[in-house]
Structure formats: C-alpha cells, structure tokens
Chains A and B, each alone.
Chain A
Amino acid sequence: MRIPFFITDSSPWKCCLAFFMLAVQLHSFAQGPVLKGTISEHDRPMPGVTVYLEQLNIGTVSDSLGKYSISIPSGTYWTKFSFTGYKTVRVKLTVHQPQRFDVVMEEDITQLDEMVVNAQAEDHNVASVDMGVSTLTMKTLSKMPAFIGEVDIIKSMLLLPGVTTVGEGTSGINVRGGNSDQNLILLDGMPIFNPSHLMGMFSVFNPDMAKDISLYRGGVPAQFGGRASSVLDISVRSPSTKRSFQGGIGLVANRFLFETPIIKDRLSLIIGTRFSFSDYLFKVLKSSSLRNTKANFYDITGRMEYLKGSDRIYLTAYNSTDVFKLPSDSISTGNIPPATDYRWKSNTATLGWIHKFASNLSLKSALVYSKYNSVISSHEVPNDYDFKSDITYKSVKSDLSWQKNAHQAIGGIELSQYKVNPGTLIPLSDQTDLSLPALQSEQGTEMAVFGSDEVRLQRWLTMQAGLRYSYYFNTGPSTVYAYAPGKERDIKYITDTIQYDKHERIASYGGLEPRLAFNLRLGAKSSIKLGYSRLRQYLQRITNTTASLPTDRWQLSNTYVKPIISDQFSVGYFRNFSQNKYEASVEVYTKNIQNISDYKGGADLLLTPLPETVILQGKGKAYGLEFQLKKNVGRLTGWLNYTYSQTMIQIQSTNPDEQVNNGKWYPANYNRPHSLNLVLNYSPNKKGITYAANFTFSSGRPTTYAYNRYYMGFLQVSNFIDRNQDVIPNYHRLDLSMTIDPMRAANKRFHGSWVFSLYNVYARKNAYSIFTKTNGIQSAIVSSDAYKLSIFATIIPSITYNFKF
C-alpha cells in the first residue's frame, strides 16, 4: 500500500506532523493484523517491557501505561516479553486478525543478581534510531566501583563515551564539547540547576530513588529543549504495591527508602532520603582551622502515584540541601572574614497526569516548579550579611503520544518561565554598613511547540523526524543600558538608559530546532545511523573558574547576551555480534556552537551590575569520534570505549579588549582529546559475588602557563599570555569493587548486601591542576613557582552496607 505516511486517519497531529514533513511519498511497513495488549505486574502496568517477535526480528516496547501494540503479517510467531529483573515470557502466538494478548510479569530474584546493562530490546543498538544515547539502569551503576562508596549518577556518566570533566571532585560534566551548564539535568522532568553536594564531591541524586538514567549526547528528541549540549533524564522509581524498607550505610552518607500502598491498587507512595554526617571527616584533621568545619547535606525525594482506569496521576517532590559552615577561628589569610557559611538548596516539585484515550493514544501533562537558591553569610560584625541569590523555574508541559502501524509520534507544547535574582545583600544587624547597589533581577519566558514522528519507511529504513520551535523573550522591570557604538562595552561608554516596566518585552529570540535521525538497516546485525539536531539555550551560568561553584551566577538571554545555538551532525555505524551478545558502534560528530560565552580576563562576575560588560560571546566548534564495544550478557559484562574529540572557541571583536587570544581559535577548558574507559563486571557463579573494575584514561585538560615573570617592586608577577595553550599531564585511574549480595531466600524478608571498593588502586598522583603559587608572601622578595596539585592522590578504600526488608 502506498500512502503519504503523514496523512493517516483523523489524527490530531495531522497538522502538526504536516508542518515539518516533506510531502514525499514513502512506503510504510507492510500492513497486517495488530497484536496488542497490556503488560502488568501485581496489577500495576509495566512500562518499558520489550515485546519481540523472533522470526520477524521486530519488536516494540510497552508505553507508560503498560500497553503495547504492533502490526505484523499474519502467521504464527514465537513472541518474547522481557524486562530486566523479570522472568522472560516466551509464547507462541498465532495472529490472523487483530488480537489481544495480556501478560503478567513476575520478578526474577535470581536474575536480579546478574548484571544487566539495559532494559531494551536485545538488538536495540542496531535497530533503534537512537544515536549518542546511553541508558543505564541503577543496577548497573550500583555494581560499579564508587568513590567513597557513594553511587553517583553524574560521575558514572564519565565512563560513557564523549563525556569528560574538568577535574575530579567537581560535579559538572562536559558532553561532546559542551560546557557544564549546557546539560539539561531532569529529575522526573524537573530541571536541577546545581547537581552537587559538598562543593561537587558528590551529585545530588539519591541512587535508590532513580529508576533509570538516559543521557542524550546527540539525537536529543524534540520534546526536550532549552540546553545546547545534552539531556540527562533521570526517572524516579514508581512505588511498588508492597510495603518495603531499604537503606544503606556508607562512609559519607546514609540512605533510607520506604514505599507503601496507601489505598490498595490505587494510591501508593515512595519516599527516599539520604543524609551525610561528614562533619567527622573534619574532626580527624590536624589543622584546627578546618577541624570545626561543618559540612552536611541531605536530600529527600518522594513520589506519590494514583492509578484509576486509564489515568495515572503522580506527584514528585524533591529537596536537596547543603550547609557548609566555616569555624569562626579559621582565619587563614587575614583578608577574609571569619565565620562565614554557605547554604544552597534545590526545591522542586512536579504534578503530572497521564491519560489514555486509547491503547495507542495518550496525553501526558505536567506542572513543574524548580527553585534553586544559594546564600553566602558572613557573621563578622559589623560586616555581617547574607548574600542571597536564586533562580525560579515554572513550567507547564503537555504532550500527546500516538502509535499506529509504523508510526510512533509525539507532539506537544511547553511554556516555561524563569526568574533569576543574581543577588541581594541583606544586612544581619543594625550595625552593618555594607550595602550593595541592587543587581537587577531578570525575567524570561520560553515557549515551545514540538512534534516528532518515528516511522518505519521501509523494512531497512527508519526515520525519526522532529521539529521544535522555541520562542523566548525577557521582560521588565528592568533598566537596559545603551553603549556607544564601536566602543568597548564598558560603564564609561554608557550613552543612554532605557526603562522597561513590569511585563514589558525587552528582547526576543527564537527559531526552529529540527531534530532528524535515520536508521539504515544493513541486515539483521548492522546499521548506519545519521542524525542532525539543533538546540537553543536561553539561560546560562556565568563563571570564569574552571569548575562551577554552587554560588555561581545565572544569566538569562537579554539585549546583549545572545542565546547559545548548537548544531550537531552525526553519523554512526552500529553492529552486533554473536546473537546480540556484543554491541559495537562508531560514531562521528561535528558540532557548531553560536554565541558560546567566555569572559574578560580576571573579570569579577558575581557582583557586577553590568554582566554584559564582562561576558564575551563567540563561536565554538567541536568534533569527535566515539568507539564503543559492549558485552551485555554472560558472566563477564561491561564495555570499552574510546573517544577522540576537540573543542575550540573563538572570540573575535573589532575591539581588542573584547577578544580572547587576539581572536584566534583556542581550546575550551574541558578539551581532552583522548579518553578511554573500560568497565568490567564479573559474576563467577550464582552465589551473589560480583567483581567489578573500571579503568579510565583521559588526556590532560588545557591550562595556561606563565611564560615569563616580572617585578612590581619586590613582588614577582607571572605573565600569562594566551589562554589554554598548554595542557596538564594525562589522567588515569583504576578502581575495583566487590559486591556480596547473597541470593534472597524466598521465605526471608530481610536482605543485606555489602559493597567493598577501592578507588585509585595504584595511587596515582593525578594532576588536578598545574598552578603558579606565590611563595613567601611575608618575605621581602615574593617569588612564584609552578606546582602540581593532586587530590585523591592515594588509594581510597570504602565499604557500604545495603539492606532491604
């Protein structure tokens, strides 16, 4: 049958699909009877279950309500229903007319102890249109060696191809040449602005509460937008129908999780918390100035779900809090006031509703609220104050997904509002003399419409065509300054001030964001994939430190600060071996980034009332090659990947003071051309012992060395000429772990397991930075020399105990 594939029945998406589709006549997959049904577990729908028809080599995945539907030629087929941690159901089905087949899945306790990398179809690597997408289950993560025993979602991403960091102990990740603020980090759809606890040593997500984690390095689907580089989508676990407790005791943090039904088969709740008692880490220090430091954090994640008929309503709330207090007697350099503390907090909530109109049509709507605030407090009278800054995000999003025959379509709208308060200084006592001229708060609105269809055009060709249109504007109340044309953007060249009232529109940006992906099957075992995507980002973090701080300032696009736009092309070859036991892929990408930001040398960003005078915007380009080999089944599983990449920035201006490195291309702070990761997991038998090893290598990040020094009086000043022209030494590290997770006896409720791990096994003193240190400030001649700073410069053992009952 020859049909224009977008003109189908009275789909509500006809218009939506039409506007991004080329009116090309294409073949659709051979039509036949539809096999459909619901997959459940304890009367609860199970999303994500793979349905696979063996002889046809095709399959599908159940949706969020556990429904699946697939159209197949008439015949008799072995059909397999599988999901990680559940017993696979394999049945012979004869289908000659539309047929319904419901499946009840059962948890497989023995299988739970085996390493499973993902919960997708066995040939997902080759069959899907996904490129640059990695999905990890918590089960995989929990078996990997963890730093100080804390399973860390963000740090684990560093073992994926194309993901690097500026240094150990920092929480940001750099994905395919993107800055760390170009990652959209979503926890159940709620954006998280600062993902770090303890200044970046740990990330803020409770591993027990996460279901799975997807990182889109390329091929970002049309329903996501707002960041230029990647999407890290963390989904929160749904509460189970049985009451249970679980927890863990570690060196840094303790975890507790509780789940229970409230109304049987209707309403259930899961709540998980994690809290540190890391103060003791400071107590053992010799330095009195640090001994009384208080550094504590906690996070709490809760999700409540209500199910009735074709409706599912959920409420997820999340809070993460860090308190970092310095003792009042810890004056290290006199110039800094004592008794200072720092607090940062994320509060987010989302209320969502999924309604099923039909087995193949569902509507998902969500309200999202996310607030991040940070406070710096000084308690030194008379200069005592709180410096508070915050960012508030509110959004409403609604999308409709529809499946029919060879189509899987989604379309929707999203409306987001941002409010950024860069900082307010609040005196804490009458004696305080400090006052800060107000830093203007900023308001912005982002609207997006999106639609996407994944369609099997031929047996050998699948296309995912998506389009997003985003429109952004910032509004008053605000004062915008005009600068003399041709001059440096500086306070001294302000020629005019323009006042904007509340809600008055100031500057607007917007445009199309096409997302296209193709999968060309070269047979059962291999495929070639092509992808293109454009992403726009209207909010960025401004920081000129190498890693970001919890107190960093955020900046919305405005008259002067343009949105970041990135275009990525990628092509990859995917191949599976030995009945999908091994997966291999090679991907090549190139990326162009417009309006990437850098800063004037040594600029102070936190307190400036005119950020546009220190932000410089230019061009970025990144390209790379990612190779990955993965083994998913068997006693030994794991992966090996190698990435070659380059990320360069160019800041050009007619004004020499607004250029970096004289307008030449220079490497970004996080440019690490070579990186290699090896992750291995070995379960020798069914006794529940797993050994795991990670090895990671990456070439050193760029830095700037002084090429000469000069005297100002008796003070030696180092002279740094061009940014990022040198590199620090290479980084490599091996970690090992052993998990003892004895099989749970069927009649026993309590279950305990141990994780022992060793971080940096051969105690390499990896360079964290090479820096110029000034020696003997107190002596007559103040000299400076280069030093290597290593942290985690030794082997770090740890032990964690987990329990469940």
Chain B
Amino acid sequence: MRLKISKIKTRLITISSGILLLVLNNCVTPFEPERRTIEKQMVVSGSITDGPGPHFISVNYTPPYSDIKQKSYLYPNNARVFLQDDAGYEEEMIPTTYGTYKTADDTKGVPGRTYHVVIVLENGTRYESRPERMAPVPAIDTLFAEFKPLPSTDVPGKFSVYLETTDAPETSNYYWWNWQHYETLPYCKIVALPGGGRLAYPCCNPCWRITFCDGCFSLTSDYLSNGKRLRRQHITDVPYDSKDPYYIMVKQQSISEGAFKFWSAVYDQLNNTGGVFDKSPATIQGNIFNVSDPTEQVLGYFMATSVVQRYFYIDRNVDVLLVRRPFNPYSIAETCVNCENQVGRTNVMPPGWIN
C-alpha cells in the first residue's frame, strides 16, 4: 500500500495537532508572508496514455505568486512540442489554446514503450522530459461501497468507495487513482433575475454534469503487497444527501517510480496540516530539464500511463432517515440552451449509464 504507515503517521500528526488545536483553542488565520519575487519558471504538465486521443501537454510559465488566478495565461509563444517514443515514433503536437498542445485524435500509447517530450522554444531553447516507461496496468477487479453513519442531520452518513485489483508479480508497480461523478443536468443555464429568483434554461440535448477533483487522487506502490491483491483501496467518500443512485467512474493508472515520487510529494503538500510534525516543504522534482542548462529548475511532470476505468453505481437507498433540504425552485425558461462539452459538462453519455 502506498506508504500506508506514513499515511497513518500523517493521521497521527493530524490528530495530534488536532488535540493541541481543539483542546487548547487553536486558531488558523490567513497570513500573507513577505515572499521574494523570483523569475518566472517553465512548467510542463501532461501525459500520454493508452486510452483514445487526443492527449494533451501544456507548456506554461509560473505567474507571480499572487497572480495565480490567471490560470495558464503565461506561456511561451510559438513553441514546438514533439512526442517521441523508443521505437523511433515522433509526432509534433498541435497547439490549441493557452500553451496547450494536443496529439492527433488517433494517437495511442502502447504499454511497454518509453515516451518522452521535446519542447523547442522560439529562441531555440530546448527542453526535454526524462523517458517515461508506460507500464501495463491490471484491470480493476471490483468496486464496492460501505455506508458509514455521520453525526450530522444534513448529511447523516457517507459511502466509502473501495477498489480492489491484483498486483503483477514483478516489483515496483505504482498505482494512481482518481474518479469522476456524473449526474444528469436538466438546466444548461441559470440566471439570477433582477428582484430575486432565478431563471433556468433547460438543456436542448442530453447533458451531464461532471464532478471531478484533481486534488482527490490516491496512490500506492506495491511495496507492502507485491504480487498480491490490493484490497480495500479507498477511493473516495460519497455523501448520503440523497437516496438516488450515485454514478462514479474510477480511473486506475500505472505510473512510473518518478511519477509516484512526484505525486506523493504533491499528496503530502495537499495534506499538510501546518503542524511541526509535517515534513518540511521541499521542491517537488519534476522530470523536465533544459538540455543546455540542466541547473534551470523546470516544474511539472510528463507521464506515460496505462489506464483502465470502471464505473459503479452506489446504491444510496439505506435505512437511515434523510431530511431533504428545502429546495429553492427556479422559474423555467421557455427556450433551451445547447449542452456543449466543456470543463465539468458533457453531452456524451457516460459508459454504463442507466436512465
């Protein structure tokens, strides 16, 4: 399991800080330290998978600390991005928007191959990723959920979702999981009316809202369970706020050792509690470097991963009282709005969807 004991340690830390915090009237207050201003740095992120294309790579610069809200607006103009593999394949990726590049729609990684990206800036500066081997990934054997009551009237319980898979006999396999939740979206646009109330425009075509969370990944190595079944790998907790079935799509990916270290460090950063028992923060080493100046710090990671996914309906019809929150009704508009594919929304029916 991924450093399970370390996780426990994290929890020990969380709880022990908790004791200090809660018993002794702690406080966490926003604090804006004086930060040094530093030169912008190159950030490369993206991946090639064995799933259907296109696959994306983004090439950006870091904004000043306080300007982070302008996501991805700083990027090198006219850079060229190439995807290469160890069998001599090379593809130049097509620029889209805001420093993002995509492969052809039919590009598909092959497990066992090794991939890397080459980025050439307009001024000739060349960046490369270290080669990443796409390791094969086993299928998800099963997904299941367990109900756990919570002492809250709004959300009187939660469903913990677990996954099981079988690790390959060789050592040093690394797994990375994330999930997406789909639900039908009846209204594609809601506007606030002057004088109160809201007006909802129905979707003209079938539409789904996608709830996803880039910070909700989990990961593990086979260090403590090589060649065995990885059991009860916790994926997420689903709130018991409705009795309707809950659709979840779980993605399982094989990642390289380097990617595992990178994401473990990100995980630690996400779960930082501020206690003195936290690991001291440190630079998260990526796998991109400047070919002519290896001392330049380049941020981000390029991954080559094999992906499997599996959907699961959580039956939330448990015998626990659920008080529905009063719903503030909309006024329904007479015209409809088209459902477009965008972040958090799709008009493509998710696999296995039951209406």
A324 to B63, CA, bound (A): 44
> Given contacts A707-B36, A787-B29, are A387 and B148 in contact (CB under 8 A)?
no
B61 to chain A, nearest CB (A): 9
Write out, one digit per residue, whether chain A residues 288-316 have a CB within 8 A of any chain B CB (1) or not (0).
Answer: 10100101000000000000000000000
A83 within 8 A of B: no
A376 to B272, CA, bound (A): 21
Partner pick for B65 among A166, A435, A706, A796, CB 8 A cutoff: A706
**How many residues of chain B have a CB within 8 Å of chain A?**
99
**Contact A796 B278, beta carbon cutoff 8 Å:** no
A639 to chain B, nearest CB (A): 28
B27 within 8 A of A: yes
User: In chain A between 733 and 778, which residues have their CB closer than 8 angstroms to a CB of chain B?
Assistant: 765, 767-774, 777-778
Partner pick for A710 among B11, B21, B28, B62, CB 8 A cutoff: B62
User: In chain B between 1 and 49, which residues have their CB closer than 8 angstroms to a CB of chain A?
Assistant: 1, 3-38, 40-41, 43, 45
> Given contacts A383-B1, A435-B224, A792-B24, are A332 and B11 in contact (CB under 8 A)?
yes
> Given contacts A601-B285, A720-B281, are A167 and B276 in contact (CB under 8 A)?
yes
**Contact A293 B15, beta carbon cutoff 8 Å:** yes
**Contact A713 B29, beta carbon cutoff 8 Å:** no
**Contact B6 A607, beta carbon cutoff 8 Å:** yes
A789 within 8 A of B: yes
Looking at B87-95, B187-195, B232-240, the stretch in contact with chain A turns out to be: B232-240
**Contact B276 A334, beta carbon cutoff 8 Å:** no
User: In chain A between 319 and 346, which residues have their CB closer than 8 angstroms to a CB of chain B?
Assistant: 324, 326, 329-337, 340, 342
B61: nearest residue on chain A (CB-CB)?
Answer: A710
Partner pick for A290 among B15, B270, B283, CB 8 A cutoff: B15
> Given contacts A329-B148, A771-B278, A773-B274, are A708 and B64 in contact (CB under 8 A)?
yes
**Contact B5 A606, beta carbon cutoff 8 Å:** yes
**Contact A777 B270, beta carbon cutoff 8 Å:** yes
**Contact B43 A711, beta carbon cutoff 8 Å:** yes
B228: nearest residue on chain A (CB-CB)?
Answer: A433
**Contact B1 A772, beta carbon cutoff 8 Å:** no
> Given contacts A334-B160, A707-B38, A787-B30, are A771 and B274 in contact (CB under 8 A)?
yes
**Contact A719 B31, beta carbon cutoff 8 Å:** no
A198 within 8 A of B: yes
**Contact A337 B4, beta carbon cutoff 8 Å:** yes
**Contact B11 A786, beta carbon cutoff 8 Å:** no
**Contact A549 B13, beta carbon cutoff 8 Å:** yes
B343 within 8 A of A: yes
A199 to B13, CA, bound (A): 9
B300 within 8 A of A: yes
A35 to B120, CA, bound (A): 91
A577 to chain B, nearest CB (A): 41
> Given contacts A290-B15, A551-B9, A708-B64, are A331 and B160 in contact (CB under 8 A)?
yes
Partner pick for A551 among B12, B23, B64, B278, CB 8 A cutoff: B12
A281 within 8 A of B: yes
A769: nearest residue on chain B (CB-CB)?
Answer: B274
A551 to B280, CA, bound (A): 17
A725: nearest residue on chain B (CB-CB)?
Answer: B36
A426 within 8 A of B: no
Q: Kindly list chain B residues whose C-beta atoms are within 8 Å of the C-beta of A769.
A: 274-276, 278
A170 within 8 A of B: yes
Q: Kindly list chain B residues whose C-beta atoms are within 8 Å of the C-beta of A725.
A: 36
Partner pick for B272 among A723, A774, A790, CB 8 A cutoff: A774
**Contact B33 A789, beta carbon cutoff 8 Å:** no
B68: nearest residue on chain A (CB-CB)?
Answer: A709
A783 to B65, CA, bound (A): 12
> Given contacts A334-B236, A335-B7, are A713 and B214 in contact (CB under 8 A)?
yes
A794 within 8 A of B: yes
A712: nearest residue on chain B (CB-CB)?
Answer: B45
**Contact B274 A546, beta carbon cutoff 8 Å:** no
A285 within 8 A of B: yes
A715 within 8 A of B: yes
A669 within 8 A of B: yes
B297 within 8 A of A: yes
**Contact B5 A793, beta carbon cutoff 8 Å:** no
A434 within 8 A of B: yes
A378 within 8 A of B: yes
**Contact B225 A704, beta carbon cutoff 8 Å:** no
> Given contacts A601-B285, A782-B215, are A333 and B271 in contact (CB under 8 A)?
yes
**Contact B276 A166, beta carbon cutoff 8 Å:** yes
**Contact B214 A705, beta carbon cutoff 8 Å:** no
**Contact B266 A793, beta carbon cutoff 8 Å:** no
Q: Kindly list chain A residues whose C-beta atoms are within 8 Å of the C-beta of B21.
A: 789, 791
A530 to B110, CA, bound (A): 71
A164 to chain B, nearest CB (A): 13
Write out, one digit per residue, whether chain A residues 420-442 have a CB within 8 A of any chain B CB (1) or not (0).
Answer: 00000100000001111100000
The chain B residues found within 8 Å of chain A, CB to CB, are 1, 3-38, 40-41, 43, 45, 60, 62-65, 68, 71-72, 148-149, 151, 160, 212-216, 218, 223-225, 228-229, 231-232, 234, 236-237, 261, 264-266, 268-285, 294-295, 297, 299-301, 343-344
Which 8 residue pairs across A and B have the least CB separation, nearest first? Answer: A601-B282, A771-B274, A788-B31, A782-B215, A547-B276, A777-B215, A715-B214, A789-B274
Task: Give me 12 A-to-B residue pairs in the complex whose CB atoms sit less than 8 angstroms apart, sorted by A's number.
Answer: A282-B23, A383-B1, A602-B264, A705-B35, A708-B38, A708-B65, A712-B266, A713-B214, A773-B274, A788-B29, A789-B28, A790-B28
The chain A residues found within 8 Å of chain B, CB to CB, are 166-167, 169-170, 198-199, 201, 281-282, 285, 287-288, 290, 293, 295, 324, 326, 329-337, 340, 342, 376, 378, 380, 382-383, 387, 425, 433-437, 544-547, 549, 551, 601-602, 604, 606-607, 656, 669, 704-721, 723-726, 765, 767-774, 777-794, 796
